[in-house]
Chain A
Amino acid sequence: MADVALHPNRVQATKATRRRNGLHNALRRKSTVAFLMTLPLILLVAAFVIYPAFYSLHLATLNKSMTKFIGLGNFEFLFKRDTFWLVVKQSCIFAISAVIFKALIGFIVAHFVHNVPANKQRRWRGMLLVPWVIPPAMSTLAWLWLFDPSYSAFNYTLSFFGIGPIPWTGDANWARFSVILVNVWYGAPFFMIMYLAALKSVPEQLYEAAAIDGANWWQRIWYVTLPMMRNIIAITTLFSLIVTFANFDIVRILTAGGPLDHTHIFATWAFRIGIEGSDIPLGASVSLFMVPILAVAAIFILRDISKRGNEA
């Protein structure tokens, strides 16, 4: 398909003409044109993604002062440290629970917005997208104040009900809860907008057919909405899983990995070790650990999508 000539009648051109117009013909091929048009992006990706990726692979094989090649020494060192395994566990808990709640809340809110009369929908959509469009570093600072142990709005409000004060960022479990909460607050609108688009693409007649077939509200969601949205759900989840797994700003600002490393995830811990601890090769090794985990997730989810294909 990619090599179809733009002008089919040119296929009949003689060999001689073709040789003479080699470059001209090459430019007429869709694939060549497509390649040239994407070249700037390919160069950008190469410069800012591929080069740093290989450079970090190189870094991860050096010693702390970056003077000697030590092979897999950094990784061996990491495997022996309890903090590393704590970070692995926390990254998984953080990413998986945050994505589940984002997906759940996004789905519910998308349904709510979908059922709002069309003339009011824009307003609701706009308001609900606000958390996602505010730079997270800024909004996390606001959350930091909300979580303040002594003067915060949360603890003040809870005190009326005789609850608290809750050490939102001071206790290991509460701190984990808080970073997940902020991440869900920040990321749920993305799910909402993706699901809303998917909901709008489900033909109304399918719901009518299901209603006539005897499906109640819940069965319509289970047998029509969810299967129709499966691909969007899978892609959104994968994308969010990657972004959440690699999250840095929220954890960094809210807890900086504390208390006692109990909220560190890969990116924040890599930063702590590599930049703050001046061991760049070890920091690079930590961040490289995200790659295999995310690759496995990506393979599973994308394989499922290509298997199902576009059924509609």
Chain B
Amino acid sequence: MAEVSLRKVVKRYDEVEAVRGIDLDIADHEFVVLVGPSGCGKSTTLRMIAGLEDISDGDITIGGDIVNDVPPKDRDIAMVFQNYALYPHMTVAENMSFGLRLKHYPKAEIKSRVTEAARMLDITDLIDRKPKQLSGGQRQRVAMGRAIVRNPKVFLFDEPLSNLDAKLRVQMRIEIKKVHQKVRTTTVYVTHDQVEAMTLADRVVVMNHGRIEQIGAPNELYHKPATRFVASFIGSPAMNFVPCRLEDVGGRLHVRLTDRLAFPLPPARAARYQAVPRTDKLLLGIRPEHIAEARPHLHPGVEPFDAVLDVTEPMGMETLVYFTLEGAQICGRVNPNAGAQDGAPLRLAVDLNNMHLLNEVTGVVL
């Protein structure tokens, strides 16, 4: 096991810069998830760590050694691929032991390691089958088993759950987390699914356009996003953004959304945004769960307003409501018993204690 470091790592393909100078330190035993939309450079970064792609510039170290020019087989890593990449002509046991057999491990040790990994992944009964006789979830377990038996310094996962159906994906997500709790191997995991990123990671690295937007623990990213991209990418349904500006009304700082709609800011927020120029074009960022039905007794900082709902989506435990404000579609989450109906008016309340204020031009969260 080992720590992994990336220093100003760049990847260029002819004219395109896929990865634009990434700095990242991954601690020993840590589970780090690289997340971002397709084409953000996350898979390329992982493949550079694996040694499957050359790096154009910068340094990658694994366990303190620079591995820029070390071939994949000498990096002591294991990788789980999106399509599993199991050898179709080998049985499950042969697939799992392939790396060890190439390194001429003693037969008894290979057997004990394969048995142990198979037991951990609950695939003991499948050990003599060929990959084509397995379901997608079982293949994924075998692919993980192949990584585990090697006992490498680093696990690399390249969108391992993308080919599974939604239900199985949730199940395998838990499996992966359990395995990591047992083996504690340093793990770099790539996904485009922010839910996977949030649920699995010790730390999430959000990437966009070949750059790192923000690094942080899942809750930190959710509650303190640094940029508009992170704020909108993390969380589902996504954060709402409404054009707004600040103004002083009667000695209190207000956030004005429309000519008729302005909310006074709670004291803590008012103090924080006091220095923001009143002429700046801003965006108010509010997560759907902070727009709910108005209750008779509102907490301080929770401001009521009226909206005409465009669409409602009953989810069972809650109902998602959509309405339009200043041309922007806004989503809120209300109690199923709040009486939300398509096309009907509803009195809602916004919790400004959890608001975000962004610069509309730079996208930076203030």
Contacts and interface: CB of A to CB of B under 8 A. Distances in A.
B111 interface: no
Given A209-B146, A213-B73, 16 more contacts: A203-B83, A203-B85, A205-B85, A206-B87, A208-B72, A209-B79, A209-B81, A209-B86, A211-B71, A212-B52, A213-B99, A213-B146, A214-B102, A215-B98, A224-B87, A228-B88
B85 A227 contact: no
Interface of B: 50-52, 71-73, 77-79, 81, 83, 85-90, 98-99, 102-103, 130-132, 146, 150
Given A205-B81, A208-B52, A311-B132, A213 B102 contact: yes
Contact of A230 (B78, B89, B102, B146): B89
B331 to A, nearest CB: 39
A230 B89 CA distance: 10
Contacts, number: 68
Nearest to A230: B89
A216 B81 contact: no
13 contacts: A205-B83, A206-B87, A208-B85, A210-B87, A210-B98, A211-B71, A212-B79, A213-B99, A214-B99, A214-B102, A215-B98, A308-B89, A311-B131
Contact of A216 (B73, B85, B89, B90): B73
A312 interface: yes
**Consensus secondary structure, chain A interface:** helix
A312 B133 CA distance: 10
B83 A215 contact: no
B52 A219 contact: no
| Contact count band on A | 20 to 34
A223 interface: yes
Given A203-B85, A206-B87, A230-B89, A212 B130 contact: no
A213 B71 contact: no
A312 B31 CA distance: 33
Contacts of A230: 89
Contacts of A208: 50, 52, 72, 79, 81, 85
Contacts of B89: 227-228, 230, 308, 311
Nearest to A308: B89
Contacts of A209: 79, 81, 85-87, 146
Contacts of B52: 208, 211-212
Contacts of B73: 211-216
Contacts of B90: 227
B130 A311 contact: yes
Contact of B72 (A211, A224, A310, A312): A211
Nearest to B79: A212
Nearest to A312: B88
A311 B103 contact: no
B136 to A, nearest CB: 15
Interface in A257-312: 308, 310-312
Given A213-B73, A227-B87, A219 B132 contact: no
Contacts of A213: 73, 98-99, 102, 146, 150
